[in-house]
Amino acid sequence: GNSVTQMEGPVTLSEEAFLTINCTYTATGYPSLFWYVQYPGEGLQLLLKATKADDKGSNKGFEATYRKETTSFHLEKGSVQVSDSAVYFCALSSISGGYNKLIFGAGTRLAVHP
Amino acid sequence: NAGVTQTPKFQVLKTGQSMTLQCAQDMNHEYMSWYRQDPGMGLRLIHYSVGAGITDQGEVPNGYNVSRSTTEDFPLRLLSAAPSQTSVYFCASSTGLAGGRETQYFGPGTRLLVL
C-alpha cells in the first residue's frame, strides 16, 4: 500500500543553519506530495506541495522537489529561524473509495535555537 | 472566515463514557474528514465524508461514528470511550475538486484523555 517515511526527530539546529528533512514515499500511480507544518498548540497547515514529477514546491523559504526516480520529497531551507520550530509532516494523496485522503509520515520535530 | 473550528479543545472522559467532538467549517467544502494523531504515527484517517448525507470509513474507524446532515458540520461520536482512544483529534475539510491536488484545511484539534 501507499506509505510515507520521514526522518525521525527531533532535529535541533542553530539559527541560520541549513535544514534538510528527508521524506520518501511508496505509491502506485502519481500522487501529489505535500509538506504540512504544525506549530505548537495549533492544527496542521499546508507549507508547500507538488503535484507532478520534477515540480518544486516553495513557501516561506522552504523548498521541496518531487523526485519520481528516487521517490523522494525532501524539505530544505537555507537559513532557519527560531520561528520555524514546529513539527513537519510529509504526506501524499491517495484516492480511496472516491475520496482523496492524505497519508502522513510520522512527523519530524524541529527545534531552532538562537 | 473562521475556517475549520473544533470543540471542545480538551476533554477528559472515563472509560465507557460517550461524547461527541464537534467540527464545523464555513468554506462550503464538500469533503470533510477526521484524523487522530498519535506520537510517532503521524495522522490516521478515522472517517470521511464527500458531501452531506455521505460518509465512509477510513483506516481506524472502530469505536467511532459520524454523520453529515449539513455541508458545514461533521461531528465525531465516541460510543464507549476506551483508553486506546486517548489522542489528539483533527477535523479537516477540502473542496474535493482537484483530484488529490487540493489543500486540506485543519482545525486546531481536540485533545482527548480517557482514564
3-state secondary structure of B113: strand
pLDDT over threshold 80, residue A78: yes
Peptide bond into A10 cis (omega under 30): yes
pLDDT over threshold 80, residue A90: yes
pLDDT for residue B84: 96
Pairing of strands A11-14, A33-38: unpaired
pLDDT over threshold 80, residue A97: no
Confidence category of residue B62, pLDDT binned at 50, 70, 90: very high
pLDDT for residue B81: 96
Pairing of strands B43-51, B31-37: antiparallel
Query: With contact defined as beta carbons under 8 Å apart, do A103 and A75 qualify?
Result: no
Residues of A with CB under 8 A from a CB of B: 4, 31-32, 36, 41-46, 49, 51, 89, 91, 93-95, 97-102, 104-107
To the nearest whole Å, the CA of A2 is away from the closest chain B CA by 12
pLDDT for residue A7: 86
Query: With contact defined as beta carbons under 8 Å apart, do B90 and B109 qualify?
Result: yes
Contact across the interface for A102 and B45, Cβ inside 8 Å: yes
By C-alpha distance, the chain A residue nearest B104 is A46
By C-alpha distance, the chain B residue nearest A88 is B42
Which of A52, A99, A103 to mutate against chain B (most B CBs within 10 Å)? A99
Q: CB-CB: which of A41, A93, A104 is closest to B42?
A: A104
